[in-house]
C-alpha cells in the first residue's frame, strides 16, 4: 500500500531531479540534495523566489555574470521541460539519477 507521504516524497524527488537536470543542461556546477530542496520549499511557495534566494545565498557570482530574472526564468523553463519529459505513470516507475556524480558541461570550467 502506498501512503500519501510516499507519493508526495516521490513528487518532490521528481521535481528536485528536474531542477538538477536543468542546472546540468545550463552548465551550472551545483545540484540540490533533498535537504537543500526542503529548505528552499520552506523558504517560499514561489519557485522563482526560491531559485533567486538560492542564487543570492549560495551562488552570488552568477548574479554578477547574468541578469537574475533571466537566469531564474531560464532555469524554470528547463526544469519544466525536464518535468514534462520525466513525468512517470506512478511512484514505482520514477527514474533516479545521481546529479551529485554528474560531470559534463560546466560554466567557468
| Among the listed residues 72, 75, 100, 95, the one whose alpha carbon sits nearest the alpha carbon of residue 85 | 95
4-25 vs 68-85: helix crossing angle, rounded to 10 = 120
Residue 1 in 3-state DSSP? coil
Residue 18 and residue 82: Cα distance in Å, rounded?
Answer: 5
Which domain does 15 fall in, by range? 10-87
Alpha-carbon torsion, ordered 43, 35, 5, 82, to 10 deg: 80
Residue 103 forms part of a structural domain: no
Please count the structural domains in the chain: 1
| Tens of pLDDT, residues 16-49 | 999 999 999 999 989 999 999 999 999 999 999 9
Dihedrals phi, psi of 51, to nearest 5 degrees? -65, -45
| Tens of pLDDT, residues 37-86 | 999 999 999 999 999 999 999 999 999 888 989 999 999 999 999 988 87
Residue 100 forms part of a structural domain: no
Residue 96 forms part of a structural domain: no
Give the global pTM.
Answer: 0.71
* Length, in residues, of the chain: 109
Amino acid at each position: 500500500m502506498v501512503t500519501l507521504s510516499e507519493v508526495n516524497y516521490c513528487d518532490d524527488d521528481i521535481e528536485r531531479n528536474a531542477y538538477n537536470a536543468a542546472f546540468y543542461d545550463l552548465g551550472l556546477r551545483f545540484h540540490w540534495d533533498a535537504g537543500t530542496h526542503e529548505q528552499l520549499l520552506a523558504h517560499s511557495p514561489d519557485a522563482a523566489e526560491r531559485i533567486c534566494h538560492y542564487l543570492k545565498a549560495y551562488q552570488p557570482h552568477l548574479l554578477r555574470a547574468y541578469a537574475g530574472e533571466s537566469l531564474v526564468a531560464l532555469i524554470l523553463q528547463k526544469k519544466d521541460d525536464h518535468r514534462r519529459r520525466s513525468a512517470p505513470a506512478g511512484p514505482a516507475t520514477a527514474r533516479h539519477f545521481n546529479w551529485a556524480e554528474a560531470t559534463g558541461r560546466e560554466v567557468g570550467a
